[in-house]
Amino acid sequence: MDTIRILHAADLHLDTAFDGLPDVQAAERRKEQRELLTAILRLAKKQQVQVVLLPGDLFDGGKHYPETIEALEQFLKDLTVPVFIAPGNHDFYRAGCVYDKMFLPENVHLFRHDHIECVDMPELHLRVWGAAFTDSVCPCLIHDFIPEKQPDTIDLLCIHGTVGKDGVYNPMPPELLAESGMDYVAMGHSHTCGGLQKAGDTYYLWPGTPMGRGFDETGKKGVVIADIAPDVVTAHFAPLNAREYCVTEVDITDEDPLTAVLQAIRGNTSRELYRIILTGETKEPIDLSTLYRVLEGKFYSLDLQNRSKLWQDLWARVEETTLRGAFLRRMRDKMDAAPPEEQSAIEDAARWGVAALDGAEEVVPL
C-alpha cells in the first residue's frame, strides 16, 4: 500500500491584533499572515502533498478582515487536494461563525461537531476523522473512540487539543491516543512544534504556529510535511520565512551599553522583532531613550528593557545615625578585626543585612 503525503499546519491565528505594534506595522503583519498562505500553498505543490490537515485556530478570533477571508478561500481552492479543517478554541464552530460566512470550496471538509466523524476516501485508501471545538473550551473528544480497523486503510485524526489528562482544551491522554488505533493524529494548539511522538502504535504531532506573533513565540516557525504508511510515519518540519521574534539578554557590566548591544546582535536584524534586556551593573545611570533611538533603526521592531542595576557602595552610609549606620559600623569593625580569608563572608553578611533593613529583594551589589 502506498504512503500518503500530507501537509499539516495549525494555529495560523489569522487577523491577530498585534497590539504590541504600532497600527501600521500591525496591519503589515496581518498582511504577512495572509502572504503566509501563499508560502504554504507553494510548499504543498512542491512537495506534492495529497491531503492537507488544518487542526484549528486558523483565525485568532477577533476581527475578521475581508481580505483575509478572500485569501483563505483562494488558498483552500488552489490547494485542489482534500483539505480538512478542525476548528479550535480561537475559531470554534458555531452557526453563523466565520466559517459559515466563507465560501468553502468542494475539496474542503469542515468538521462542525463536537464528536468525531469520519470522511472515507477509498480511492486514497484513507479515512480522515475529526471533530470541532464548538466553544472556547472543550472536554476530551476521544473518549470511547476506538473505530474498527479496515484492511489497507490509513486512519488520520485531525483535531485541536492537548496531550494529557487535564486541561480545558480537549485533553487527550496518551493511552486513549494509543487505543484509537489512528496511524497519525494531526494536532493543533501548542505554538511550538512538538516533533513526532508516539503513543502505542499511534503517531502524533503538533506543528506549532507558522509565524511567531509575540516574544513568547521566538525562533523559526513553520509547518510539517509527513509521509504516512500503516506502520511508519516520517515527518519533517518545514520552516517558513516569516519574521522572527528574538529575545536577547546583554550584560553591560563594565561595558559601554551601545557597544555591548551591537556585539550581541551581530548580523542583519532589520527583518526581525527584538527584545533586548540589559542586565548587569553600571556605574552611571543608563540613558535608555537615547540608546533606543540609536538602535531602533536596526530592527523591524525593538523592545528595549533595562534590568541592569546601578552600582552602590555598600559602606557609603556607614556614618549615618540610623540602624543601618550602626549595623554597618559593627560589620566594618568585624571586617577590620577578621583575617583576610573571612572578610568576604563578612562583607556578604553586611550586604544581606542592609538588604534586610531596606526590605529589599536583592542584596546591594559590590
Of 205, 152, 142, 170, the residue nearest 6 (C-alpha)? 205
Q: Which residue has the cell 568576604?
A: 344
Render 311-340 in DSSP notation, one character per residue: ---GGGGTT-SSHHHHHHHHHHHHHHHS-H
Minimal distance in Å, beta carbon 354 to Mn ion? 48
Strands 197-199 and 171-172: unpaired
- For the bound state, the minimum distance from the C-beta of residue 188 to Mn ion, rounded and expressed in Å, comes to 6
Site string for Mn ion, 79-98 (x = CB under 5 A): ---------xx---------
Span 98-157, contacts to Mn ion by CB under 5 A: none
Between 172 and 278, name the residue whose CB sits nearer to Mn ion: 172
Q: Which is nearer to Mn ion, 187 or 328 (CB)?
A: 187
Residue 184 forms beta bridges with which residues?
A: 156, 203
Q: Which one among 13, 29, 34, 189 touches Mn ion, defined by CB under 5 A? A: 189
First-to-last C-alpha distance (Å) of the chain: 71
| Closest CB to Mn ion among residues 191, 351 | 191
Give least dist CB 98 to Mn ion, A. 15
Residues 29-68 that bind Mn ion (CB under 5 A): 57
DSSP for residue 9: -
Composition of the chain by helix, strand, coil, percent to 5:
30, 25, 45
User: Which residue, 30 or 191, has its beta carbon nearer to Mn ion?
Assistant: 191
Nearer to Mn ion, 69 or 159 (CB): 159
Number of residues in contact with Mn ion, rule: CB under 5 A? 4
Minimum CB separation from Mn ion for residue 189, in Å?
4
Three cell numbers at 283?
A: 556605574
CB of 182 to Mn ion, least distance (A): 20
Using H for helix, E for strand and C for coil, what is the string for 46-109? HCCCCEEEECCCCECCCCCCHHHHHHHHHHHHHHCCCEEECCCCCCCCCCCCHHHHCCCCCCEE
Least distance CB 160 / Mn ion (angstroms):
6
User: In the complex, what is the shortest distance from the CB of residue 135 to Mn ion, in angstroms, rounded to a whole number?
Assistant: 12
Binding flag, residue 208, Mn ion (CB under 5 A): no
Question: Which residue, 15 or 155, has its beta carbon nearer to Mn ion?
Answer: 15
State the Cα angle at 268 between 27 and 220, rounded to 5°: 65
**Radius of gyration (C-alpha) of the chain in whole angstroms:** 28
> Of 90 and 127, which has the nearer Cβ to Mn ion?
90
Answer whether 223's CB lies under 8 Å from 27's CB: no
Residues that bind Mn ion in the complex, under the rule CB under 5 A: 57, 88-89, 189
